[in-house]
Amino acid sequence: MQKKILNRNLIYFIILFFVVSCSSVPKYPQNACKIFGENYLWYKSTKKSSETYGAPIYIILAFINKESGFNRWAKPKRTKLFKVIPYKRPSSSFGYSQAIKKTWELYKRETNNPLAIRTRFKDSAMFIGWYMNKTKEINKIPLNDSYRQYLNYYLGWGNYAKKIYKTDKKAVILAKNVQKQAKIYKSQLAQCQKGLNNKYIIF
């Protein structure tokens, strides 16, 4: 009887450890190799998204870093009334990808994935790959163009087509930051991706 209880407790501990380790914010968010070293399943998820939609792993990772800082519960800060009283949030952005509810629902319908949730890294990585592929189709932006891909992600396809970014300094600064981070991630992954591809997890 005691042995069964111990085995059950061990299983619970392993499950809890697995869930926590795969959902916590990385200790070194600017280093792709260390991110995937901490959360190997994140690598599997971004790799699957890349294989499905053609979006580079390093750009998917850079998007998530910029959008949520790898915080699954991230939301936009509330606006304030009279600069003091907390009020509404500026959008419905939520989760790793900071996808708004309307676009997330479109993604679920188009991919026939009704159970996708914004707080799951795998779903968020797939969403970004899907969005980037749509950007390629709609606005003819190459998948490896992190700068213009992020402008589309931040502004939306319609606003990008209207060239809103020409008067939106914030969007341009954010896109340049993403471009810079993507280049860093790309360089880092060149050093460790072979090892990641040869790694296995046994449950």
| Dihedral over Cα of 111, 117, 118, 121: its sign | negative
- C-alpha to C-alpha distance for 172 and 119, rounded to whole angstroms: 27
Contact 84, 160 (CB under 8 A): no
- Helix, strand, or coil (residue 21): helix
pLDDT at position 84: 53
User: What pLDDT, on the 0 to 100 scale, is given for residue 120?
Assistant: 98
Q: Where are the domains of the chain?
A: 2-197
Residue 200: what pLDDT? 64
According to the model, what pLDDT value does residue 92 have?
Answer: 80
> Which DSSP letter does residue 94 get?
B
| 8 Å CB contact between 96 and 102 | no
CATH class of 2-197: mainly alpha
Written as one string, the DSSP assignment of 128-189 is HHHHHHHHHHHH---TT-HHHHHHHHHH-HHHHHTTGGGS-HHHHHHHHHHHHHHHHHHHHH
pLDDT at 10: 45
The one-letter amino acid at 169: K
pLDDT at 24: 81
Per-residue model confidence as pLDDT tens for the chain (203 residues):
555 444 454 444 333 344 444 458 999 999 999 999 999 999 999 999 999 999 999 999 999 999 999 999 987 665 555 555 664 555 788 899 999 999 999 999 999 999 999 999 999 999 999 999 999 999 999 999 999 999 999 999 999 999 999 999 999 999 999 999 999 999 999 999 999 999 765 44
Rounded Cα distance between 159 and 138, Å, is 12
